[in-house]
Structure 1
Amino acid sequence: MLTIPYLSPEDEAQCVQDGGWAKEKFARNRGFKIATDRRKPSYGDWVVLSDLDEIPRRSFLETVKAPDPGTDIGRRLLEGFPESDGDVFKLGCRFYYYSYEYRHRGDWYGPVLVRYCDPASPIFARPKSDPYPRLSRIQHIMEDDWSHAGQRLREQRVEDTPSFDDQCYHCTWCLSNITQVTRKMHSYSHTEHSQELYTKRRWILDHFSHGIDLFERSGEIYDYIEDNQDLPQYVRNNSARFSYMLRRKGLANAGFTDVDPIHPLSE
């Protein structure tokens, strides 16, 4: 079974006082740097940078591991082909709220796929006056090393970066218990969402159960998909364990494991 190591930056406390966004950027930069130091990639290895709730499709990762020049994705990944798009790509995700029942109108482009290149390598010194200027080169983003590359890669605009559409899943607020929902509201970067109304038990249950935006944002619309089968394989194979990700619609407890389905308003 694949294991995912948990790495905690020792110097995290230095950015906490600067607020949620500073902490988020710090975690991406330090996490990416620690990961590439621990498992030193070789030139040409592909590295995926994503948040925990952004899951690339298995089929896409298998294609990246062994790109086939006979396919569109393979030609875009391999160097030396006219169709090559360079070193950096955004991944388009099917975007879900609360569970895989409620698909957001509009996909999400958060994760990044990047071809690793050691800054000490002469290859990294390839001049920016590239004969193929349209290519997205890692040198155009990097400055000296990988210390701050995580956030710089994350902030690449979709309009300026080649992308692979529909190659991952993003399920946000897909939490197993209601306590996690209120804790997230008080701790994550969007401090404007930390309002008393949004933490009310009845409000949370009603919005999660009916696929309504929790924060009353205009334009945030989620379409209900009955019996959605386009799921991450691990979720599909463990449907009982992840039932809260699969069925919330119309449930009095909105599928939360810490809410009594008979008396959902009782705390």
Structure 2
Amino acid sequence: MLARVNKRGSLRVSLIFTFIVFALIWLNPNWTDRSIHRVLHVGLDTDLTTADAKQGLCKQHGWQPFEGSTRRVYDLLMVNTELDWLEIRLNTTYDHVDYFVIVESPKTFTNLDKPLVIKDNLDKFAAFRDKIIYHELEIPPGFHSDRENPAWDWEDLQRNAMYDQVLPRLTDARAPRHKDVIIVADVDEIIRPETITLLKTCDFPRRLNLRSQFFYYSFQYLHMGQQWAHPQATFYQGQDTILPVNLRNGDGGFAPLIAFETADLWDAGWHCSSCFSTIEELLTKMSSFSHQWMNHEFFRNRDWIADHVREGKDVWARETEHYERIENNHDIPKILLDQRDRFRYLLDRDGPSAGFQDYP
């Protein structure tokens, strides 16, 4: 008798759950849309002044136009010492983003002291300063990690601080409004301006993966395989806003429904991993890796690094990582095309120096 009651109870729970899921899908059909979208349906010169134009653009991506006042865009970015990448990002999207939120930590992910490089160099970004919201990470008293690899907790602390230590505290004109766009990214995950146009115009899903062309060392070597699964975009919902760590990791909230509110937007930007002008910068990055095996002394040898970067081989000898050489790549941020000599290391790793300013 008890078994029969339990069976009926389980069936009732299943039916209720199924009803809820179908009700949510009916209320928001975008939740079921996991098809591959491509951002390149829009150009920087696309005329979106009419309702029909907006409808046509959004329809090509399976969405509806956003109804409401003009959306603002908050670009929440993680920065370590990458001053060049910050400049590239600001130059590429300044005219399209409303605020760049930068949270800088006095600690590495491995809890080592480090200088506040961005704070000390803010004067170099005077042309963009009106849109930069800078915040030094507030480390909670007694903060510590019980995980085997505490670097992940340090990284999560800084990533979430881009939201919870900044956006709720903004006042007046800078305060976020309902449904304003929030982008969560690392500084070297550059978003195409066309992507931002799309995000401001259309009612996109609550969790949107901005898939990016994935390069290593420079835009000369394209990573073979799927496009990079970051950055992410969502929108402001007050206390219900998805935190950056949950957004980036694809978790948090009611797990069975996450898949229904997630979609991928392909060709949305560029990601260039380990793309530094000096070996010293790469070594600094290794020291802060959450993956500490990648900081082994064997991989820190300068000759090893230069040889692998020059030849387009994986510095960490991972058998799964392979790169395709691209000659005269023109699908890159515009500033790199305009200032080729200055950013030569991001375009060409040939020669004895492998493009590094501090080698040999």
Instruction: Give the TM-score normalised by the residue count of structure 1.
Output: 0.74
The partner residue of 2:249 within 136, 142, 155 is 155
Counterpart AA for 1:56: I
Distance 2:306 2:144 in 1: 31
Check if 1:183 corresponds to 2:277: no
Percent of residue pairs identical: 31
Q: Which residue of 1 aligns with 2:302?
A: 201
Shift in Å at residue 234 of structure 1?
A: 2.6
1:96 is the counterpart of 2:196: no
Letter in 1 for 2:155: E
Match of 2:194 in 1: 59
- After superposition, residues 107-256 of structure 1 pair within 5 angstroms as 107-119=227-239, 142=242, 149-156=243-250, 160=259, 161-248=262-349, 250-256=350-356
Asked if 1:50 is matched to 2:185, the reply is yes
SS in 1 for 2:271: strand
Distance 1:203 1:173 in 2: 14
**Alignment partners' CA distance in 2, 1:227 and 1:15:** 48
Q: Which structure: larger Rg?
A: 2
CA spacing shift, 1:101–1:33, aligned 2, 3 Å: same
Identify the structure with the greater helix proportion.
2
Letter in 1 for 2:345: Y
- Give yes or no for contact 2:286–2:294 (8 Å, CA) kept in 1: yes
Q: SS state of the match for residue 128, structure 2?
A: coil
Aligned with 1:229: secondary structure? Answer: coil
Q: How many Å separate the matches in 2 of 1:25 and 1:154? A: 10
- 1:211-264 superposed Cα distances (whole Å, 9 cap, x missing partner): 10011111201000001001112332232222111110x3111111122xxxx2
Structure 2: give runs of 5+ residues left out of the alignment: 1-126, 252-257
Whether contact under 8 Å (2:156, 2:245) holds in the other structure is yes
Q: What amino acid is aligned across from residue 49 of structure 1 in structure 2? A: V
SS at match of 1:7: strand
Shift in Å, 1:5: 3.7
Report if aligned partners of 2:205, 2:234 keep a CA contact under 8 Å in 1. no
- Find the counterpart in structure 1 of residue 137 from structure 2: 9
Q: Distance in 2 between matches of 1:233 and 1:12?
A: 40
- Measure the CA separation in 2 of the matches of 1:35 and 1:168: 25
